[in-house]
């Protein structure tokens, strides 16, 4: 009898163990071999925006980094596919380039990332042609395919913050370079790839793309005619901190708030960017092509801004700050404003600006406005060798307004204005302000006032300098009378003195623009 009882319990244990195994397999839904080989299903990307893809991906990254690695390793295939679904969405439009193509691209791209802040036009043109040719030889359909285990591996890399591996799994990467084709998600690339990556943005229109807080040392270099199109729905192309970044050779258009908006950035260069149709229905005091807050060592040069609520604005920022060799057409409220900028190396020079129609809600006020800003005794704020033509109907706008609401150590030298506002160059207050070798021309129009002035609209005020005989005007006010200069006599120069210091030249006409 004991023998039969023992046999019964042995059979029962076998049945229970077998049943548990069956139940476990049923819960898993498939065998390990099936899991490893299964390709994850293609997502439905109908009406899904790049920003939504980026948000979902960032949420997935936060979840994966908050888990234990052992939990990710033990997850079922269905759970892995659910957690990793944003990986498929982020790579839906990607073309996976061959190793040979990536080697070719690395070889022909080298001349551009040796010094991304100083890429010449000829170098960019030659390299763009070679990169485009190398990329065009690649073939394949968009959309990368991943097995469940490959998704698990990516999630584990994310969990362990292994960015180089993550980046190379999702994007066309070789070394510290990534090539982005139209449809690939810029912000997912920024999240996935290590600091100091150079992103080459291949020719074509990249719709709805945005980058939030580009990592330190990143470079974003457009190749050929690379266009970032916000399609009138995306707020900003680049936003947040971007320390040590370079953004260059791109066209940024149709963004609702800003092209580039940054806070607390340092050592960042923007060059050879074309901004078009930025915040066209917004007020230029807060919206426009480029805005930096609480930043230091920022350069914006060799760029073109067309139809924006405002051009370039620095607020509460420290020198060096450079805005040089840019061109502008219809930049709303201002082409440039320094709002509480301080320190050495602040330079707004060799920019060319024109106004033919109003963009944005605020009329053109001052083309260049220096507001509550201070240079240093050894490094004055330079507003030199700029040209402006055209004005709005504002009765308070000017070409150059120095020491607005006070300031110090500022100069305006070698500027040319043609009908640039109701005032040419004004000094509204401030201490140690110099105006030298400028030429101002205006016909008489409804709000026209004076070519040069000095006044104490705020205090303190003193040592306003107009270098004798170097500033020249042919300026008519709203009555048609000549009006080359005026002073209220409170800031170191009397009205008689400023009129003697500024030279009248009635032969000077609008053709000074071409000189």
In the 3-class helix/strand/coil scheme, how is 290-302 assigned residue by residue?
Answer: EEEECCEEEEEEC
Taking only the tens place, the pLDDT of each residue in 38-80 is 776 778 888 899 999 999 999 999 999 999 999 999 999 999 9
Taking only the tens place, the pLDDT of each residue in 121-130 is 999 999 999 9
- State the average pLDDT for the chain: 92
pLDDT at 14: 37
pLDDT at 140: 57
Asked if 298 contacts 272 with a C-beta cutoff of 8 angstroms, the reply is no
The verdict on residue 453 lying in a domain is yes
Going from the C-alpha of 247 to that of each of 175, 198, 366, 432, the distances in angstroms are: 20, 10, 27, 35
pLDDT at 42: 77
The range of the structural domain enclosing residue 481 comes to 231-514
| Calpha distance 505→515 (Å, rounded) | 16
Taking only the tens place, the pLDDT of each residue in 320-329 is 999 999 999 9
Going from the C-alpha of 290 to that of each of 8, 148, 163, 270, 405, the distances in angstroms are: 82, 43, 30, 10, 23
Question: Helix or strand or coil: residue 152?
Answer: helix
| Calpha distance 65→87 (Å, rounded) | 15
Which of the four pLDDT bands, split at 50, 70 and 90, describes residue 17? very low
Question: Helix or strand or coil: residue 472?
Answer: strand
Taking only the tens place, the pLDDT of each residue in 291-305 is 999 999 999 999 999
The verdict on residue 461 lying in a domain is yes
Name the token pair of 306.
Answer: 């067309």
Pairing of strands 398-413, 423-427: parallel
The verdict on residue 36 lying in a domain is no
| Calpha distance 411→434 (Å, rounded) | 5
Dihedral angle of Cα 355, 357, 361, 364, to the nearest 10 degrees: 30
The verdict on residue 7 lying in a domain is no
Q: Of 157 and 6, which is predicted with more confidence?
A: 157
The verdict on residue 510 lying in a domain is yes
Which of the four pLDDT bands, split at 50, 70 and 90, describes residue 497? very high
The verdict on residue 360 lying in a domain is yes
Name the token pair of 62.
Answer: 């936060």
pLDDT at 13: 38
Share of the chain above pLDDT 90, in %: 88
pLDDT at 401: 98
The verdict on residue 52 lying in a domain is no
Burial of 161 (0-12, 13-18, 19+ CB in 10 A): exposed
The verdict on residue 65 lying in a domain is no
Which of the four pLDDT bands, split at 50, 70 and 90, describes residue 231? very high
Report the domain count for the chain.
Answer: 1
User: 362 phi and psi, to 5 degrees?
Assistant: -95, 135
Going from the C-alpha of 8 to that of each of 3, 5, 498, the distances in angstroms are: 9, 5, 117
Long-range pairs of 466-469 with CB within 8 A, sequence gap ≥ 24: 466/435, 466/436, 466/493, 466/498, 466/501, 466/502, 467/434, 467/435, 467/436, 467/437, 467/501, 468/500, 468/501, 469/501, 469/503
């Amino acid at each position: 009898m004991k023998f039969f009882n023992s046999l019964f319990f042995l059979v029962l244990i076998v049945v229970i163990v077998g049943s548990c195994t069956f139940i476990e397999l049923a819960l898993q839904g498939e065998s390990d071999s099936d899991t490893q080989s299964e390709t994850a299903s293609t997502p439905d990307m109908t009406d899904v925006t790049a920003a939504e893809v980026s948000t979902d991906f960032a949420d997935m990254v936060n979840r994966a980094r908050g888990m234990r690695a052992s939990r990710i390793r033990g997850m079922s295939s269905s759970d892995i596919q659910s957690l990793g679904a944003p990986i498929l969405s982020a790579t839906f439009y990607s073309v996976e380039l061959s190793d040979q193509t990536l080697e070719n691209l690395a070889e022909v791209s080298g001349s551009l990332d040796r010094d991304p802040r100083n890429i010449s036009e000829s170098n960019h043109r030659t390299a763009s042609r070679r990169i485009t040719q190398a990329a065009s030889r690649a073939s394949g359909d968009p959309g990368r395919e991943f097995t469940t285990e490959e998704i698990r591996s990516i999630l584990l890399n994310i969990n362990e913050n292994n960015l180089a591996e993550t980046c190379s799994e999702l994007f066309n990467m070789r070394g510290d370079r990534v090539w982005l084709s139209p449809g690939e998600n810029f912000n997912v690339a920024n999240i996935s790839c290590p600091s100091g990556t150079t992103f080459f943005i291949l020719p074509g229109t990249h719709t709805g793309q945005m980058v939030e807080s580009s990592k330190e040392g990143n470079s974003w270099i457009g190749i050929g005619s690379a266009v970032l199109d916000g399609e009138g729905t995306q707020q900003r192309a680049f936003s947040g901190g971007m320390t040590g970044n370079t953004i260059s050779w791109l066209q940024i258009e149709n963004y609702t708030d800003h092209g580039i908006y940054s806070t607390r950035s340092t050592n960042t260069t923007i060059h050879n960017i074309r901004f078009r149709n930025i915040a066209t229905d917004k007020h230029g005091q807060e919206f426009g092509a480029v805005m930096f807050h609480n930043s230091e060592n920022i350069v914006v040069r060799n760029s073109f801004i067309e139809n924006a609520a405002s051009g370039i604005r620095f607020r509460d920022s420290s020198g060096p700050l450079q805005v040089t060799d840019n061109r502008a057409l219809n930049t709303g409220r201002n082409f440039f404003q320094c709002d509480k900028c301080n320190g050495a190396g602040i330079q707004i020079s060799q920019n060319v600006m024109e106004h033919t129609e109003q963009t944005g809600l605020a009329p053109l006020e001052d083309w260049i406005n220096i507001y509550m800003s201070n240079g240093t005794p050894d490094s004055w704020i330079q507003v030199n060798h700029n040209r402006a033509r055209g004005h709005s109907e504002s009765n308070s706008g000017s070409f150059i307004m120095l020491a607005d609401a006070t300031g110090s150590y500022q100069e305006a030298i070698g500027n040319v204005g043609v009908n640039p506002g109701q005032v040419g160059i004004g000094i509204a207050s401030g201490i140690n302000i110099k105006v030298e070798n400028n030429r101002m021309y205006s016909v008489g129009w409804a709000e026209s006032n004076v070519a040069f002035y000095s006044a104490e609209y705020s205090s303190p005020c003193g040592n306003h300098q107009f270098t004798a005989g170097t500033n020249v005007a042919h300026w008519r006010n709203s009555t048609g009378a000549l009006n080359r200069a005026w002073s209220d006599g409170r800031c170191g120069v009397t009205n008689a003195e400023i009129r003697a210091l500024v030279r009248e030249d009635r032969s000077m006409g609008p053709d000074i623009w071409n000189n």
